[in-house]
Structure 1
Amino acid sequence: MAFPAASKVWDWLVGHRAELRLALRVTIAGAAAFALAHALSLSQGFWAVITAVIVMQASVGGSLKAAIDRFLGTFAGAVYGAAVAAFVPHETVIQTGLAVVVALAPLALLAAVKASFRVAPITALIVLLATTSQTLGPFASAIERVLEITLGNVVGVAVALFVLPARAHTLLTESAAQVVRLNVQLMTAMMNALIAEPGTPGGVAPLHARIRVSLKQVDTAADEAARERKTHLTDAPDPEPLVRTLYRVRHDFVMIGRAASGPLPDAVRDRLRPSILAIRDTACALLNELGDALQMRALPPTSEAFDTSLTRYVREMDALRAEHLMDTLPGDTVGRLYALQFAFEQFRQDLDDLTGRTHEMAVRNGRASEER
């Protein structure tokens, strides 16, 4: 009985490797910050430990951003808080309350305008109200607070760089691959609805919601990847073209969805069914292979099969027009058919761009051994 349980535990561990790596980095960062703070005899070294844990993110780029934001907010809050503590009386309750208002108001505005300074008001209050300010003095307390936060930042970024580092470009391609694979399900559901075949249970609305969430993850990873590029931590390609292409493909599916909002009339459905099924199957196969290539940073597949199926669909549309079958259809149906053809053709162009971005990622990753 123990073996099935052990197998389940192992499967869970394998399926959560990224989370386990992050947990390990957080643990090492906290322990290292504690040891260094103790070695340096910092009176409130726990702030270094807390900071090291806070700045530890899923990628190096994310950790850099968290460290920079933490340092900027701490420095601004410590300097201003020390100035308020030194020059604004706060011996009585009323005076302390007024000092709190003076300390908070400008820093709260600064944090509202620029999110990088969101810890500034908290740091100012710590410097103003902490008991160490009474023994060390406001400016000495502010200096020690900055040193503690700086130590935590340095430890956090160092651990992110050297302990099982997760590059933001890897997270970017994994998130992009997830978006591409969700588009497979969306294409299947839309084409099935168009030719009145059973679609994805629950319709396309849940798929659209999941794609939106995944695109937000892509945006976050792209921001972190761009930060890694700016700090010369990677020579990976600019993530922005890949993000733009994913959004264009997203727009293509919105257009396809509008044109495929319901089954086609019997008069044309039987004629177009084989070509629509071919487009569905070849597009899904291509998207699946592109998703795998993105995740593995490998060379992308060719789109010949999808090109052939799209050419077949266009020929069928031309035949319908030549036989004047379009003249017998309602105006909204004719509009949907033309919109669908345009959307397919636009989708084809954006697939080319997605293939190019995937190829660029593979070449930069050093996985390309030959040009296709």
Structure 2
Amino acid sequence: MKNTKKPQNINKFYIVVMKFRGYNIRTMITKKIAKEELLDFYQSKFDYYKVVSAYCAVIIAFSEISYFFTDCQLYGRFSWETLIPRLSVLLPLALFLLLYRKVKSYKAGVLLYYLIPHAAMWATIWSVYHLENRDFVREGFIIMHFAFLTIGLAMPVMYHTIIHGFIFFNILVSNLFNHYEHLDMMLTLAIPIYIGVILLQIILENTYADHYLIKKSLELNSITDELTGVYNRFKINEIVDPETHKFYTDESIYIAMLDIDYFKKVNDNYGHEAGDIILKYVGSRLETHVQNQDYVIRWGGEEFVLLLVDCDASRVAKVTEEIRQDISSGENSVCPLTISIGYSKYKADENYHSCLDRADKALYYAKKHGRNQVVDYTNI
């Protein structure tokens, strides 16, 4: 089971986003996204923009082919010489169309997506080799910067900066045989455009960082109980198959259900605000007894559910008893507390509802037989 323990510092990230909304050069992406979140951020950015960049890749390829008609204008006839060079971009385009749906990682996407603008540029260089009139080559290379810009929408700026920079390598290498008349002019025109594209990419990436953090915050809020800070019952939808309601993991799981004893009396005698304090207290204490792969869920009212993952019978008995003792002997600002707990082992061939129902029956048994105790369903 994938560890989806809620990130405690997501709200801090969101505050940083709000603080740096001014968008200036100092608003670097690492100011908003913690280092441990960067891989997820770049993958999210790739998933968000990859379709747009894919369409742009196709447009780039067909735009390159369309420049054949410009060649014909320059020759004043059908340009047989540049037909194959212009059409050569179809080969990398075919490879791109074959693979782009299979590419899921942004790192693999970098290799595939940037293939198209580089292929288009070398198709242009090959065509220019056959042209007698090379007065418009500067405009062609300038257009290539915008081709790289569109592909870079889905990519990390740090990768884009390096790969886009190869445009100058392409120009310098091709000058060895194309012998551009105004090479210095080509470079001085290209450098400001390159810098401008990189700055625009930084702005766009920072803009997406706001979107990413807000999205993560909303996702977290949708599965987090606002009062106690532990998960709410919607969290379970992420870790079970929506069709079979079976847990995705093959690891051993125990489900424990616990209830605060006589919680109604707490509300009646001390007020609902005091009841909220008790719920927060219990939620915080439960989190201290679980491991990273486990889940603490407020199921509703004063009921909590524990999912103990990769757990055996001795551990679940030990953990649940430690929790019971911790709550009963611990101090809170309202009144003494006790809890009742029932638990059951999840069977791989059943849905989680069956196991939850057994845990609930064990909890009911505990409450009917004196409360302040832990009951294993198999002992009923």
Normalised TM-score (structure 2) = 0.29
- Who wins on radius of gyration, i.e. which is larger? 2
More strand by share: 2
More helix by share: 1
Normalised TM-score (structure 1) = 0.30
